[in-house]
Amino acid sequence: MQRKDTLHCNAQSVPSPVDTRSALMLITPNRSNLNKIVVLNPKGGCGKTTLVTNIASRIAADDSTPAIMDFDPQGSTMRWLEKRPADRPPIYGIAAYKQSMGATRSWQLRVPHETTTLLVDSPAGVAHNDLCNLTRDATSILVPVLPSAIDIHAAARCIADLLLIAKVDRRDGKLGVIANRTRRNTKSYASLMRFLDSLGIPVVGVLRDSQNFVRGAEEGLGVCELPARRTTQDVEQIEKITSWLQNWRNRGRNVDLDRQIRSAANVTELYQQQR
């Protein structure tokens, strides 16, 4: 099979709206070795696609073939894959926002057998029922949060829904927060960190407001694949996030982590302990 076919397994699909419940059903293979990572925040523009593509490109560098399942009707992740140079490690793309007239939904959302990491790029405005469907069987759930009052409020509601509606238990160690597009020494950054302090959920990474992410998106690359001269800080955070995600087998019901969460004064202290 040619690599182009691998990247665009749903090239013959016909776009359709994704605001129906069936369109957001995620059929996850029953495989114990599949690391299913859901990047979720119902508010648009919080950097979900940027996070997904940079994690995928970093994991692809380890000689594995990750898959991205794109539920966002804008199809930003699929466009990123189309731009991706042919000489870069392959990433499998599944355009979940499309529906095929000639294939079942389970066939359309199939995950390659060789794939051990599945990244789910969720859409904006996820309803409660869809939230449960998207997060079912997830080994990791990442919530990117931007430093603005509107985004902090939206993230607070998202996390509350994950805990109360999707029944995500923070003691399982699968839920993490990403502070995104931050600028240190600003009031908005201080407000964001105060909010994160109150969550009792690990801050997995802090991504700065960097043009490196914009450049990577334009070229179909992750920051880890750009020249290292100006990307050191960004690469360090992506490496930290990826390391946390790949350690998913050891996070479940981690007694020591649970004890730290109860005893730490705030999430920032816990984050500093884990650095």
Encoded tokens for 70: 């794109």
pLDDT for 28? 60
Pairing of strands 92-95, 117-121: unpaired
This model's pTM is above 0.85: no
Domain ranges of the chain: 35-273
Question: What is the pLDDT tens value at each position of the chain, 275 positions in all?
Answer: 334 333 444 332 333 333 333 445 555 666 788 999 999 998 888 999 999 999 999 999 997 899 999 999 999 999 999 999 999 999 999 999 988 777 788 888 889 988 999 999 999 888 888 899 899 899 999 999 999 999 999 899 999 999 999 999 988 999 999 999 999 889 999 999 889 888 888 999 999 999 999 999 999 999 999 999 889 999 999 999 999 999 999 986 554 545 444 444 444 444 444 44
Domain range 35-273, its CATH number among 3.40.50.720, 3.30.1540.10, 3.40.50.300, 3.40.50.880:
3.40.50.300
